[in-house]
Each structure stands twice: as structure tokens, then as C-alpha cells.
Structure 1
Amino acid sequence: MATLVCVDVMAISDASLTALRVFREVAERGTLTAAASALGYTQSAVSRQIAALERAAGTSLLERRHDGVRLTPAGQIVVRRAAAVVGQLDATARELAGLPGEQGTVRLGWFPTAGAELLPRALTALRRTDPAITVVSREGGTPALVRAVRAGTVDLALLASAPPFRPPDTETPALAVRVLTERSLRVAVPATHPLARREYVDVVDLRGQRWIAGSGDDRVMGVWPGLDERPEIAHTARDWLAKLHLVAAGCGITTVPGSLGAVAPPGVRVLQVRGGPGERRRVLLAHLPRPLSEAAERVAAALRAAAVETEEG
């Protein structure tokens, strides 16, 4: 049965632009604290803006939970409208400032390792084929990027996905998702490591190794999934390049997506792993379930072509 959502539309139209910006930021960041930090506000100021918006709407827009906040059905409606209003005003400001207009600007979010080869390759091709398109991009973890798509602060998001390849979130309507590529997970080892003498690594050889693990939202680079022992974590780092330099220094080994083999620093070998269940990773392109602008479609096509090229490489 469909849920009846009642929102005072006229009251929302009178809400301040500041309140709409704050609400959009909270929806994207997932917590009041993170939104306050991003906006340079105090948490109490953010809470007051949200409370004012909820009074104007005549209903609750956020569900407060121990791990942050989640949009209510009414909140999902309001954030879509807020994103549209704020986006139009920002586009107007850009045009008045002489910057590219909305139709030629695409906002793209990407997970960290996509910036190593996939993103630069796509942007290089776009500058050659579609120089009128401006891509404004930012890095983020997959959960944060999904929230940004929902909040309307990015048009497209490159996401990393691991088995069992569930949808990016459980919100409705479901995001439109395209699989750009699927590749096997690999391991990066120091060039001086005994395993580096081989063309591939057997999964049993990963036992007893020292690992460089990821942190935060990083689920790509870290310990080999399903390792049948308690791993020894030698170092933990968020930045993928830092992990690879730690590998080069002989501090341990780490997992990597296959696409990073071409950009690994000197002193690192990236090897396939055989034996045991196959470990696959997908690169997805997600956006709201509505037609993309012509510029966004051109960016999506460039990303797809770049993903195929990196896969062949």
C-alpha cells in the first residue's frame, strides 16, 4: 500500500534559501554534524534550520537514528525540490559571473581509485570531442556519493561495487545504474617480495602475510576477502596511493582493483590471485531515474569508453 505523504507546499515555497541549502547538505552528508562542518555552521544552527523547514512543511523530514539521519518520504520530496531550486539559483549565479551555463556543466562524483586512470582518461577524451562541456568533479566514498545523487548535488556518480552486487541503496525510486566494467580483484606486493617472482599468486599463499588495510568507506583496497585466518594488519590508510607506496617500501601487501596495475608506483607488482572463489569488482555509473541532459549523456559515454579501455589495458 502506498504511503500518503502530506506536505504543505505553499509553506515550503516560503522557506528560506538557507534552510533549503542546509537540508540538502544534511541529506547528502547523512549527519547533522557532518553538514555543519561542511557549511561552517554550528550543529545547533543546522538543527534550527531543519526545525524551521519541518515546521513549514508541517511534517517530519528526517528520521533521527543512532548512525545519523535518514530522509522520511516527505523529506525525499523536499530534497528533490530543494536540489532543483538551489541548482537553478547556482546556475543563474554562474551565468551572471560569465561561467559556463547549466546545460554545459556536469557534476560528477567518483570513488577514490577512479581518479587514478579512469577519470583522467575520460576527461582527456571529452576535452577533445566535447570541449564545450565543463565537468565539475569531486571524490567521495560510495555511500556519500549515493547520498549526493539523491540530494541532487551531483548529476552522475562513479561507484565501486563488490559481491553480492546489491543496489547502491534501498531508497525509492531506485537509482538508474549502469555497469561500466567488471574486473577481478588483485594483490599488490613489493617487487622484492618472494611472491613477486611469480606471474600470479595462489590464494593459499596469502596466509601469514602482513596487510595494509583500508579505512572509512574503502572496501576495495585492504585484506583479501574470505581469508581463512585472522589477518595481521600492519598499517591502515585511507589514501590508495599511500597504500601502494607502503607496499613499495616493503611494509606489507594490499588488494587492488585490476585497473591500478597500470599506475602502480615503482617497486610494486600487481598480481592475479588464483584458487578459491573468484573475487570480482564492478564500476557503476549511477544517477537519478530520469532522462539525463545531453551533456551528462556525453560524459557518461566518455566514462564508459574509458572503462572499456582500462579493462583492455
Structure 2
Amino acid sequence: MDFMDVSLVALRVFREVAERGTLTAAANVLGYTQSAVSRQIASLERVAKAQLLERRHDGVQLTPAGHVVLRRAAIVLDQIDATGRELAGLPADGGTVRLGWFPTAGAVVVPQAISALRRAHPAITVLTREGGSANLVRALRAGTIDLALLAAAPPFRPFDTETPAFRTRVLAERTLRLAVPATHPFGSRDSVDIDELHDQVWIASASATEMGVWPGLDERPRIAHTARDWLAKLSMVAAGCGITTVSDSLAPVVPPGVRIVDVRGGSSEIRRTVLAWLRDPLSEPAAGLAEAIAAHY
């Protein structure tokens, strides 16, 4: 494939599709029509003389050729972006690290780690973004982030089956807990039995992949409210609207009126926090941020 015959627009569109997982999502982010995105992908496939995307009912998946093109495209686009930053007088890529993090990680660990890195290495620029673990895995593959804080649940399988495999570091392994109103009957206790969760009113997550209702309940839960944002859920708990499942890492930042309690019985609800990256060795800024994050778990 001759990259001289490929426009930067086509490469950026392709990377966005690979990261977002659907043509529609990529079009929305880029401000294009879906047909315009399709045309850019088609032009890239003509130059590559290979199918780069497999269209499925739930989105797209990269073909083996697509993975090769994505890996090379990420390098080209990073160099172009670094050139633009240098010409604009901004820090070059060597001083920038891009981090993706799952929602609750941004409550405590991410701000603390960035603050520590800034004190030790003020010249390093940290760019961050929040996302679900599946989206962050795609972003790592697409080369739009350098590091990802990912949440993992048993049986702790690899985050994807592509090659090369991600490099990973387990930062923490914790048990899920409950957030309850201080005025709730559970609010004066340190723990509750799983059988006591029967017929409770829950504040659930808008996404099925995020925490809300306690996992594995043997009943259809009574969900009174749904929210995507963890702070909104905890605020509703404080207002007495219901109870919700939380990561133990949120305990230091719960608002007044919320108690965090343990759950006894049932299966062990363990969750891991994993730092993942693709390019090895890490750049000095990325390695510095990785160590700062690890120090705060």
C-alpha cells in the first residue's frame, strides 16, 4: 500500500471508525454524513486493494488487513499531529501522554496521579478522556490514547483477542460495596446479608456495563431511577431515592448523607483495575504517568 495515494482525511476517518466501532458513531463525532464516511473507507480500501472492515449487524470489525493499516495509520497521524503542535509552539509528542479511564477512576485516582506527575515533571502534558472499558480498548488499538485504566470482572479474560496483545498491570483488586442513604435501615450498619437485598429500591446505571444493581440477584430488581453519572447516582442515594452498587474506590468521596456498607454472602464480587498499553516500551511521559497512577492505588 502506498500512503502517498491516501489522504489524511481518509486515515483519520478510518481511525475514528476503528475506535467508535460503527460508521454512524464515527460520522457523528466527525460531523460527516454516514455516506461520506463510507466513501472515505472505500477510497482507502481501493488503495490497499483489500477489505479493511467487516460490516456486521452490531457495527464493524477490523479485518487482518485493517489492523495492519490501522497500526501504520496511527504512526502517520501521530507524527502529523506532533508536527502541527511543534509549529504552533506547543509541546511535542515526546512531552505528551494520553490517558483513557473508566468513569469511577476519575473521582480520586486520576486527579491525584496527574497532580503528582505535574509536581514531579511540570513539562509533561497529560490529556485524558473518560469512557467505558470496551471503548477504551478500541481507542488503544486505534492509537488515540497511550494508556487506559480499565475495569475487569471475573473470569478476567483478555480485553480482546487481537495481536499484538496489550501489556497490562493489575493495580487493584477490590470487592464491590453498597451505597445507602444514612437514613436507610442499612445506614447504621457496617454490612448486610445478600438476602436482605430482596425487594430493595435501586438506582441503576444507564449502561448495562456499569455498576448499579447488585450483580446476580435472584429476582427482578425494583429500579426506580437510572443515571449514567456516578455523582448523580450518589446524590440520589443521599436524597433517599434508593441504593446502588459502588466501587470501593469511591468511599473517600461519597457526599454527605451516604453510607458505604459491605455485602455478605453470595458469590464474591471482585473487580480489578488494570492499566493497559499497546506500544512498548512506553514513552518517558507515559511511563511517568503509569508510575504515578500505580502509586495512588
Question: How high is the TM-score relative to the length of structure 1?
Answer: 0.93
String of CA shifts for 1:146-180, please: whole Å, max 9, x gaps: 00000000000111111111111122221111111
Distance of 2:16 and 2:246 partners within structure 1: 32
Partner residue of 1:213?
A: 204
Aligned residue for 1:123?
A: 114
Alignment of 1:235 with 2:225, yes or no, is yes
Question: Do the aligned partners of 1:108 and 1:138 also contact (CA within 8 Å) in 2?
Answer: yes
1:253 aligns with 2:243: yes
1-side partners of 2:125 and 2:241: how far apart? 41
Shift of 1:216: 2.5
Q: Distance in 1 between matches of 2:225 and 2:154?
A: 25
Is 1:293 the counterpart of 2:283? The answer is yes
Aligned to 1:28: 19
TM-aligned CA deviation for residue 217 of structure 1: 5.8
Query: 2: CA distance between counterparts of 1:254 and 1:158?
Result: 22
Rounded Cα–Cα distance in structure 2 between residues aligned with 1:297 and 1:274: 39
Equivalent residue number for residue 95 of structure 2: 104
Of 46, 63, 68, which aligns to 1:77?
68
Corresponding position: 1:38 with 2:19: no
Letter in 2 for 1:109: G
Deviations 1:8-35 (A, max 9, x none): x22x442100000000000000000000
For residues 18 and 120 of structure 1, what CA distance do their matches in structure 2 show? Answer: 34
1:247 maps to a residue whose letter is V
- Give the letter for the 1:173 counterpart: P
Read off the aligned partner of 1:76 and give its amino acid letter: H
Work out which of the residue numbers 274, 278, 286 in structure 2 matches 1:284. Answer: 274
Partner of 2:77: 86
**265-274 or 71-80, which moves further after superposition?**
265-274
Match of 1:5 in 2: none
Quick one: distance in 2 between partners of 1:217 and 1:91? 37
Consecutive unaligned residues in structure 1, runs of 5 or more: 1-8, 308-313
Partners in 1 of 2:198 and 2:162 — Cα distance? 39
Deviation at 1:233, TM superposition (A): 1.0
Q: How many residues in Structure 1 have an aligned counterpart in Structure 2?
A: 297
Distance 1:83 1:287 in 2: 14
Alignment partners' CA distance in 2, 1:225 and 1:170:
26
Q: Displacement of 1:120 after TM fit?
A: 0.7
Structure 2 portions without partners, runs of 5+: none
Paired position in structure 1 for 2:104: 113
**C-alpha distance 217-98 of structure 1, shift in aligned 2 (>3 A):** farther
* 1:218 shift after superposition: 3.7
Q: Residue in 2 aligned with 1:271?
A: 261
Worse-superposed segment, 73-82 or 170-179: 170-179
Alpha-carbon distance between aligned partners in 1 of 2:118 and 2:15, rounded to the nearest angstrom = 31
Question: What whole-Å deviation, never above 9, does each CA across 1:74-132 have from its counterpart, x for those lacking one?
Answer: 00010111111011100111111111111010011111111100101101111111112
Give, in whole Å, the separation in 1 of the partners of 2:186 and 2:162. Answer: 44
Q: Distance in 1 between matches of 2:121 and 2:282?
A: 16
The amino acid that maps onto 2:216 is: G
Contact 2:6–2:44, Cα closer than 8 Å, also in 1: yes
Contact 2:146 2:279 in 1 (8 A): no
What is the CA RMSD across the aligned residues, in angstroms? 1.0
Query: How far has the Cα of 1:303 moved from its partner?
Result: 0.5
CA contact (8 A) 1:142 1:217 kept: no
Identity %: 69
Q: 2:189 aligns with which of 184, 193, 198?
A: 198
Residues 1:160 and 2:151 are matched in the alignment? yes
Residue 222 of structure 1 and its aligned partner are, at CA, apart by: 0.7
Cα distance 1:257–1:268, how it changes in 2: closer, same or farther (>3 A)? same
1:141, 1:217 within 8 Å by CA — same for their partners in 2? no
Q: Assess if the C-alpha contact under 8 Å between 1:174 and 1:289 holds in 2.
A: no
For residues 49 and 21 of structure 2, the distance between their equivalents in structure 1, rounded to whole angstroms, comes to 22
The 3-state SS of whatever aligns with 2:176 is: strand
